[in-house]
Amino acid sequence: MEVALHLISLGFLTIRRHLGRQPAPDARLDAMVTLHAGAAWSADGRPGMTLGCARGRIWVTQTGDGRDIVLGAGMAFISKHRGKLVVTALEPAVIACRDAKTPL
Domains recognised in the chain with CATH numbers: 3-98 (2.60.120.10)
pLDDT at 29: 57
DSSP string, 57-87: EEEEEETTEEEEEEEETT-EEE--S-EEEEE
* pLDDT tens digits along 9-61: 333 334 444 444 444 433 445 789 999 999 999 999 999 999 999 999 999 99
